[in-house]
C-alpha cells in the first residue's frame, strides 16, 4: 500500500505542475520531465517482468 500511495502522490503532483506551468524549466517541457520522473518511480515499484504477459 505505501508504494501505491507514493505513486498516486507523485502522479498528482506532477499533473498539477504540468497544468500550472507546462514550460517551467529552461525550455524543457514539464510534460517530458514528468514522464521521466514517473518512469523512474514506476521502475522502483515494478522491478521484474510481468509473468502474466511474458513471452513464452
Can you list the positions of beta strands (E) in the chain?
Answer: none
Instruction: Parse the chain into domains and list their residue ranges.
Output: 2-45
Residue 1: all three cell numbers together: 500500500
Q: What's this model's pTM, rounded to 2 decimal places? A: 0.69
For residue 9, what pLDDT is reported?
94
Which position has the higher pLDDT, 5 or 52? 5
Q: What is the pLDDT of residues 25-56, one digit of tens each?
A: 677 788 888 899 999 999 998 888 877 877 76
What are the angstrom distances between the C-alpha of 1 and each of 6, 7, 50, 51? Answer: 9, 10, 19, 21
Amino acid at each position: 500500500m505505501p508504494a501505491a500511495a507514493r505513486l498516486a502522490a507523485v502522479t498528482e503532483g506532477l499533473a498539477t505542475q504540468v497544468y500550472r506551468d507546462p514550460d517551467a524549466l529552461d525550455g524543457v517541457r514539464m510534460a517530458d520531465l514528468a514522464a521521466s520522473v514517473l518512469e523512474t518511480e514506476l521502475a522502483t515499484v515494478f522491478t521484474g517482468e510481468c509473468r502474466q504477459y511474458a513471452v513464452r
